[in-house]
Structure 1
Amino acid sequence: MGDRFKPIECNNGDVLDFGDNTYKIGKFKQAIDTSFNPTIEYKLNQELSSKGIHIKESPNGNWFHKGIDCEILTLGSQSWKKGKVKIKISVEFYIEEEDIEITNSKNSEITEPESPLDDLRRMIHE
């Protein structure tokens, strides 16, 4: 996304706000996952084909769940290896750097909390 944005870890219980609608990350990811259907896979194959990537469609395979049968030849390998290629989509959230700087300046004003051991140290010294 560019240097202006920094990704953060998101948990399934975190909430996204899209103006008038809010959704938990878990529900959002589940909806995306179930949206990957044969129509989208067909469109993906058409797009790849228009870019010169022609994939022989497998009746049992798919890009997002089972994978598409193929072979790979890796650098240094003596032979091709059979396997599947699968597309995995991740959901990432990027905080604008400006917001991070504001948060960091607020955090610099906050003093560190007292250690739980401080009470024990006081009791020992008394």
Structure 2
Amino acid sequence: MEYNYYLPNFSDDDVIQLSNGLYKVGQLKTAMEFATNDQNRLPHSLFYALRDKGVILENLVVTQKLFVDGLDAEALKVGAKGWQKGKIRVRVTLEFEPEEPETNEPESPLDDLRRMMNDNS
């Protein structure tokens, strides 16, 4: 099962333009996988960021597992009858959110009628 999503609605040959150039989606996906794997900066940065906020994980290897398999955990929710076992996992998502297209549709002739009715009420 895939827990990290990188531009899931795009093929590897699609192209994204950022401020500094054009990139194939496959290139961005590879870079994101590289950034989240067990030998790179993101798990390392997360380990120290969590530690700085008082969340102490055993070591960097444990932190790296957050991105892949997750860590065994138990949760106690308010109102629940007890602890629930499960996994805690970091998910990374790289998405493209299109801007809403501008609509240049003419107003409906009924819009004037609606405005007049609202003004009279």
**Correspondence 1:43-54 to 2 at 5 A:** 43-54=45-56
Task: State the alpha-carbon separation in 2 of the partners of residues 30 and 73 from structure 1.
Answer: 37
TM-score by length of 2: 0.58
Task: State the alpha-carbon separation in 2 of the partners of residues 47 and 74 from structure 1.
Answer: 25
What do you get for the CA RMSD once the two structures are aligned?
2.9
Task: State the alpha-carbon separation in 1 of the partners of residues 69 and 8 from structure 2.
Answer: 26
TM-score by length of 1: 0.57
Q: What is the identity percentage for the equivalent residue pairs of Structure 1 and Structure 2?
A: 29
State the secondary structure of the residue aligned to 2:34.
helix
Gaps of at least 5 residues in structure 1 are: 1-8, 110-126
**Correspondence 1:1-126 to 2 at 5 A:** 11-13=9-11, 14-19=14-19, 21-38=21-38, 39=40, 40-57=42-59, 59=61, 62-96=65-99, 100-101=101-102, 104-105=103-104, 108=105
1:41-75 CA distance string (max 9 Å, x none): 12211111111222234856612111122211133
Q: Which amino acid aligns with 2:54?
A: G
1:11-61 CA distance string (max 9 Å, x none): 223421125632233442332023213343122111111112222348566
